[in-house]
Amino acid sequence: MKGYFMEPQNMSVNDGNGIRTLIFMAGCPLRCQWCSNPESQGSPANSRGRGSLVREYWLDEIMEIIERQRIFYRFSGGGVTFSGGEATMQLEILDEMSMLLYDKAIDMAIETCGYFDFQAVKRVMDRMSLIFIDLKLFNGQAHRKFTGMDNALILENIRKFGEMDYQIVIRIPLIEGVNTDQENISHTADFISKHIKKPKVELLPYHSFGDEKYRDLQLELPSREFKAPDKSSINEIRKIFKSKGIEVVKY
Amino acid sequence: MTTFRNEKARLNYIESKPSISYERARIWTESHMMTEGESVPIRRAKAFRDTCRKLDVHIFEGELIVGAVGEFRKCGILTPEFSWTWVDREMDNFSSRRQDPYEMTDEQREFVRKEIFPYWRGKSLEEAFLARLPEETANVAVDTGIIDNDSKWRQAVGEITPDYQDVLFKKGFGGIIREAREKLEGLNPSNSVDLERIEFYNSIIITSQGIIELAGRYADMASEIARSEQDGVRREELLEIERICRRIPEFPPETFHEAIQFVWFTQLGGILSENPLALNIGRFDQFMYPYYVSDKSKGLADEKIQELIEALWIKLSEWVWTISANTAGFFAGYNQFQNLTLGGKTREGRDATNELSLMCLKATDSVRTHQPGLSVRIQQDCPDEFMEAVTELVSKGTGFPAIHSDNAGYQMLLNAGYEPEDARDWNNCGCVVPHFRKTGEWTSAVNINFTAALEFALNRGISRVHGRRMGITEQSPEEYKSYKEVEDAFYREFDKLIEHSVIATLTAQRLHREMVPRPFLSSCMEDCIEDGVDLVNGGAKYNIGPVLTGIGLAVTSNSLAAIKKLVFEDKETTMEELSRAIAANWEGYEELRELALNVPKYGNDIEYVDEIAVRMANHYYRIGHGYRDINGNPFNTAFMGISNYLPTGKVIGATPCGRKSGEPLSEGVSPFAGTDRSTPLAAMRSAAKLNQDIHSGGTLLNLRLNQSLVDTKRGRSNLGAMIQSFFSLGAFHVQFNTISTEVLRRAQEEPGKYKDLLVRVAGYSTQFVNLSREMQDAIIARTAHEGF
């Protein structure tokens, strides 16, 4: 079995517990204007980085990379985190891979944009010990403007995760002028605290580390209007979440 | 932050350049003039006692632990009985030499040239060694950077851990004298074996008297200063020092302060007796613990204990190991290699960490001295509190502590023939050599330049930099028709270098036995006293074969991989063209060099090249371990660091891996600087493939981590897990530098502002600004892993 991947990254410590391997899967239904992995945008087989930053890997190749790192998971409580792109776009290989890892009792987490068919991916999600799900903008129209897609499905999926008590962390990229206004933050916070029992969010201030890839792919750089908010605004945002009983976590 | 007095001493330590004192050499020489004709051990013992009687005593401002090697607070001494010629040759440039400069005045130089050196002409260890070393070996082994053992004939051996547990703290030197006298009563001078024993016991009685008398003189001095001391608090301290020095080291210590003063007097005795490398403290948190517990129960505050520990750290850093420019190239940074080991397991296999272990880690953080060489033993169930303290010290960027696998150390000692209880009780010697205190050994006997063997194989036996024949290969490189032929030629040269190393070591060992017996240090060893045999004659409980240290494992493996791939597999080039490129130092062959640089490099968990390194390491063990030293013990192998990868690199031309002429080689089992481009995890996996436990002389992996990886507690927990993972793969040692390149560059530009910046050199840490520019550059060149 084969799939489309970017180069896996070993020794990651920010996407779950312990020392982890990040498996970046190509293809994404969204096209966020600030995306730091633009090579993954598009369909898995025809992503923007196809032929340069994205290539086909055999399932065995990916498993071998993970196997070599296993000793480091063992002592740190780490494991594998599926990321992307949007990992669920290559559901068949994700299903197979996560089943193999599940049988080896390797800890798994996933980072998803939330845009997927819940019923179809449920069995994959059941194998995850932690799910990071993005909620970039609460307002549907704004969401469509900046990401190319409506967010109704994403909100619906978050609700379902909440109902069924999955271990989730809502991730919010903080981009000044896009989603850091009080209205967006309050609505987001209200939504989260309403639908999730022990709600957790992680705030990820925007960074421009992806610029290099835009150059490599000869794509237009993200707007220079995108900026990380300053420390005091981040603190304000954190306060809003806390005031609604939401834990702000950091991985 | 340490106490005010320690801070003052610390500032003096970082601000001042060490000065040379010839006092010890003068007294030693005058003593020898008076004892002509007596036996060597007695002459050396008497010279030691005379030094203890006549050396001026100095109690420096605010000191709690007293005893000075000379008249300067930061001071090195001379030992002309080992070698005076290098001092004579080099001392005019002492203050301007690049690595480890010293201060010495013209008057001092004139005095030693007139009054000291003439006596030793023809009598020093160095001269005897050079006279006896076979010419063929001398061609490769004297100041060449190919085979180097000059620290064993221009210097004393050191490399020993005094036995506080079973000898010193139990008996005191007074007890040692009594025991020696009792032994003497049972010996018969008409029996030749007994005669040697009689001589030995007499020699240790003399040295023990010496160290007791020296302490007595410190008591007198403390009392004298106390009389005129205006400050009441200080006066009380001086009176306490007087009291302590009247008891210590004649009697066993009863308080923590007495015990720590005892430790320093033992160091002082060792230093005055031979200016040793690696006179280790050993398991300080174990043998000091009873005194800590007892003092605490009597109400002594932790702050007082902490202050004493920090005062010892400063004391250990103030004396300087005086060494030649050549030796300083191999052991850069004024390092004395006084290793102090914390944590691990007890002899019974229980967790050994205690409050003192944590206080010692804290002491290094607060005084930031380059001594002691702080090492920790980490077992798989190491308590969180200890691991957290260790990773926290790592995060401070001092390069300390050196982190060792408790189990790998145990295995290495078992393999070397130790009883399990003794193997469990190991401490480090020097930088990364697992060692047990009841042992006589040469833990850094010879440095062997692996890459030289490859150069000789590829250049008809001729050294490119020295420009003369040093190898045995006759054929030209283009005659090699397969990779196997290249490798075979390499291994022939390699085996020859090991043979030369063994010859140089045996020559030195025989001379040590003849010329430089070690009564003072022998008296610190239980079995020497029991059997009446000096350390040089194998008096210790364990006599372990000398350690051959391999340098350039990564460069050599990378180079063989490049030849294999580019010449024989991909046929990108020929042996002929590659040889021309190397001879031209890659100039005009930039494209070929690019190809060479892109061949897989050791340190990235790539089997293609790691396999070559593993075979080389196994071969090294098999051949090295096959030789026997003068006591009949097998030689041991090691991949330690020290700073030897610099001088050994200078004498090697360009190499097939893409390295340019004169650039540093690689240290220990570390990757070549800048070529471990994956993650530290990959570097660890590569290093762990090397069957580290067979290399009983120790292995060393240095990694640079980005500071941000260890900024948070969570990050440090992950670092702890990473270390445990590495050890579970069978590895022995890892040590981290976490200072950013930016800070290191700033320190190069403005050294004055970064005088206390400690960095990891290799197997030890030292002040960055005390390193030569090239050494600094080599450290910056190490790949900083940004990962996490």
Identity of the residue in B682, B721, B787 whose CB atom sits nearest the CB atom of A76: B721
- Shortest Cα–Cα distance, A209 to chain B (Å): 14
Residue with tokens 């069995």: A123
The pLDDT score that the predictor gives to residue B765 is: 64
User: Which residue of chain A has the CA closest to B725?
Assistant: A72
pLDDT at B767 over 80: no
Mean pLDDT computed over B521-527: 98
Residue with tokens 């090249």: B609
Interface contact A68, partner B, CB < 8 A: yes
With the CA atoms of A169, A131, B717 and A241 taken in that order, what torsion angle do they form, in degrees rounded to the nearest 10? 0
- Between B646 and A121, residue with greater pLDDT: A121
Contact criterion met (CB below 8 Å) for B763 and B668: yes
What are the φ/ψ torsions at residue B676 (nearest 5 degrees)?
-90, 85
B389/B361 Cα distance (integer angstroms): 7
Interface contact A17, partner B, CB < 8 A: no
The pLDDT score that the predictor gives to residue B714 is: 87
Inter-chain touch B679–A14, beta carbons under 8 Å: no
- Shortest Cα–Cα distance, A189 to chain B (Å): 27
Identity of the residue in B681, B718, B728 whose CB atom sits nearest the CB atom of A10: B681
Identity of the residue in B725, B785, B787 whose CB atom sits nearest the CB atom of A75: B725
Inter-chain touch B679–A68, beta carbons under 8 Å: no
Tell me the two tokens of residue B694.
């067979």
B318/B75 Cα distance (integer angstroms): 7
User: Which residue of chain B has the CA closest to A14?
Assistant: B788
Region of residue B299 (phi > 0: left; psi between -120 and 50: alpha; otherwise: beta): left
Mean pLDDT computed over B628-633: 94
| Class of the domain covering A2-249 | alpha beta
B376/B733 Cα distance (integer angstroms): 10
- Shortest Cα–Cα distance, B407 to chain A (Å): 16
A245/A194 Cα distance (integer angstroms): 10
The set of residues, in sequence order, having a beta carbon less than 8 Å from that of B527 and lying 6+ positions away, is: B438, B533, B539, B540, B541
Tell me the two tokens of residue B435.
């060692």
Interface contact A77, partner B, CB < 8 A: yes
- Shortest Cα–Cα distance, B280 to chain A (Å): 32
Tell me the two tokens of residue A250.
């950091």
The set of residues, in sequence order, having a beta carbon less than 8 Å from that of B662 and lying 6+ positions away, is: B465, B649, B650, B652, B653
Interface contact A22, partner B, CB < 8 A: no
Nearest CA to B18 out of B370, B373, B372, B270 is that of B370
Q: How high is the mean pLDDT of chain B?
A: 93
What pLDDT digit, counting tens, does each position of A166-195 carry? 999 999 999 998 999 999 999 999 999 999
Interface contact A76, partner B, CB < 8 A: yes
User: Which residue of chain A has the CA closest to B722?
Assistant: A72
Mean pLDDT computed over B614-625: 97
Please list the residues that pair with A169 across neighbouring strands.
A132
User: Which residue of chain A has the CA closest to B730?
Assistant: A71
Region of residue B658 (phi > 0: left; psi between -120 and 50: alpha; otherwise: beta): left
Nearest CA to A90 out of A64, A116, A69 is that of A116
B560/B783 Cα distance (integer angstroms): 22
The pLDDT score that the predictor gives to residue B738 is: 79
Inter-chain touch B729–A11, beta carbons under 8 Å: no
Q: Could you give the C-alpha distances from B192 to B185, B187, B517, B756, in angstroms and in order?
A: 16, 10, 18, 56
Q: What band does B787 get if pLDDT is binned at 50, 70 and 90?
A: very low
Region of residue B687 (phi > 0: left; psi between -120 and 50: alpha; otherwise: beta): alpha
What are the φ/ψ torsions at residue B288 (nearest 5 degrees)?
-90, -15
pLDDT at B704 over 80: no
- Under DSSP, the state recorded for B784 is E
The pLDDT score that the predictor gives to residue B354 is: 97
What pLDDT digit, counting tens, does each position of B97-122 carry? 888 889 999 999 999 999 999 999 99
The pLDDT score that the predictor gives to residue B642 is: 67
Contact criterion met (CB below 8 Å) for B100 and B328: yes
Using DSSP's 3-state secondary structure scheme, residue A21 falls into strand
A166/B98 Cα distance (integer angstroms): 63
Tell me the two tokens of residue A1.
């079995």
Identity of the residue in A12, A68, A72 whose CB atom sits nearest the CB atom of B722: A72
- Shortest Cα–Cα distance, A152 to chain B (Å): 34
B266/A163 Cα distance (integer angstroms): 71
The pLDDT score that the predictor gives to residue B783 is: 59
DSSP readout, B9-47?
Answer: HHHHHHHSPPEEE-HHHHHHHHHHHH-TTS-HHHHHHHH
Q: Could you give the C-alpha distances from A10 to A78, A111, A128, B690, in angstroms and in order?
A: 11, 16, 19, 22
Residues 657-696 of B with CB under 8 A from A: 678-682, 685
- Within B350-482, residue ranges assigned H as helices are 355-367, 384-395, 406-415, 420-424, 450-458
Contact criterion met (CB below 8 Å) for A173 and A222: no
Q: Could you give the C-alpha distances from A187 to A180, A229, A244, B387, in angstroms and in order?
A: 11, 19, 11, 44
Pairing of strands B446-449, B547-551: parallel
The pLDDT score that the predictor gives to residue B784 is: 62
How many Cβ atoms are within 10 Å of A99's Cβ, its own excluded? 13
DSSP readout, B264-296?
Answer: HHHHHHHHHHH--S-B--B-HHHHTHHHHHHHH
- Shortest Cα–Cα distance, B786 to chain A (Å): 10
Q: Could you give the C-alpha distances from B77 to B165, B391, B523, in angstroms and in order?
A: 29, 36, 22
With 0-12 / 13-18 / 19 or more C-beta atoms within 10 angstroms meaning exposed / middle / buried, residue A118 is middle
The pLDDT score that the predictor gives to residue B745 is: 86
The pLDDT score that the predictor gives to residue A210 is: 75
pLDDT at B562 over 70: yes
Span of A68-77, B258-267, B524-533, B675-684 with lowest mean pLDDT = B675-684
Inter-chain touch B788–A14, beta carbons under 8 Å: yes
Q: Could you give the C-alpha distances from B444 to A223, B139, B277, B543, B642, in angstroms and in order?
A: 60, 21, 10, 14, 10
Q: Could you give the C-alpha distances from B177 to B186, B209, B263, B529, in angstroms and in order?
A: 15, 8, 18, 10
How many secondary structure helices (H) and strands (E) does chain A include? Answer: 8, 10
Contact criterion met (CB below 8 Å) for B309 and B359: yes
Inter-chain touch B718–A69, beta carbons under 8 Å: no
What pLDDT digit, counting tens, does each position of B401-459 carry? 999 999 999 999 998 899 999 999 999 998 888 999 999 999 989 999 999 999 999 99
How many secondary structure helices (H) and strands (E) does chain B include? Answer: 33, 19
Interface contact A120, partner B, CB < 8 A: no
Mutate which of B718, B727, B728, B783 to test chain A, going by most A C-beta atoms within 10 A? B718
pLDDT at B633 over 60: yes
Inter-chain touch B714–A77, beta carbons under 8 Å: no
Mean pLDDT computed over A61-74: 94
Residues 44-73 of B with CB under 8 A from A: none
Q: What band does B788 get if pLDDT is binned at 50, 70 and 90?
A: very low
- Shortest Cα–Cα distance, B606 to chain A (Å): 11
- Within B599-756, residue ranges assigned H as helices are 607-625, 647-650, 680-688, 713-728, 741-749
B380/B383 Cα distance (integer angstroms): 9
Nearest CA to B692 out of B609, B641, B618 is that of B618
The pLDDT score that the predictor gives to residue B1 is: 64
Task: Name the strand (E) or helix (H) holding B257.
Answer: helix B256-274
Spacing of C-alpha B228 from chain mean position = 42
Q: What band does A127 get if pLDDT is binned at 50, 70 and 90?
A: very high
- Max CA separation in chain A (angstroms): 49
Nearest CA to A142 out of A131, A133, A150 is that of A150
Mutate which of B381, B677, B681 to test chain A, going by most A C-beta atoms within 10 A? B681
Mean pLDDT computed over B120-132: 97
Sequence spans of domains, chain A: 2-249
DSSP readout, A113-180?
Answer: -S-S-HHHHHHHHTT-SEEEEE---SSHHHHHHHHSS-SHHHHHHHHHHHHTT--EEEEEEE-TTTT-
Interface contact A14, partner B, CB < 8 A: yes
Inter-chain touch B718–A71, beta carbons under 8 Å: no
Amino acid at A68: R
Contact criterion met (CB below 8 Å) for B24 and B47: no
pLDDT at A201 over 90: yes
Inter-chain touch A19–B721, beta carbons under 8 Å: yes
Identity of the residue in A11, A18, A74 whose CB atom sits nearest the CB atom of B681: A11
Inter-chain touch B788–A13, beta carbons under 8 Å: yes
Tell me the two tokens of residue B652.
């090697």
B406/B387 Cα distance (integer angstroms): 13
The pLDDT score that the predictor gives to residue B2 is: 78
The pLDDT score that the predictor gives to residue B785 is: 58
What pLDDT digit, counting tens, does each position of A6-41 carry? 999 888 888 999 999 999 999 999 999 999 899 999
Mutate which of A12, A71, A202 to test chain B, going by most B C-beta atoms within 10 A? A71
How many Cβ atoms are within 10 Å of A98's Cβ, its own excluded? 23
Mutate which of A9, A22, A68, A76 to test chain B, going by most B C-beta atoms within 10 A? A76
Residues 605-634 of B with CB under 8 A from A: 605
What pLDDT digit, counting tens, does each position of B29-42 carry? 999 999 999 999 99
Inter-chain touch A12–B680, beta carbons under 8 Å: no
Pairing of strands A168-174, A130-134: parallel
ipTM comes to 0.83
Inter-chain touch A14–B787, beta carbons under 8 Å: no
Inter-chain touch A75–B721, beta carbons under 8 Å: yes
Using DSSP's 3-state secondary structure scheme, residue B232 falls into helix
Contact criterion met (CB below 8 Å) for B125 and B81: yes
- Between A244 and B769, residue with greater pLDDT: A244
Whole-number percent of chain B with pLDDT over 90: 79
The set of residues, in sequence order, having a beta carbon less than 8 Å from that of A74 and lying 6+ positions away, is: B725, B728
Residue with tokens 């976590």: A249
Interface contact B585, partner A, CB < 8 A: no
B164/B427 Cα distance (integer angstroms): 13
Task: Name the strand (E) or helix (H) holding A19.
Answer: none
The pTM score is: 0.90
Inter-chain touch A68–B685, beta carbons under 8 Å: yes
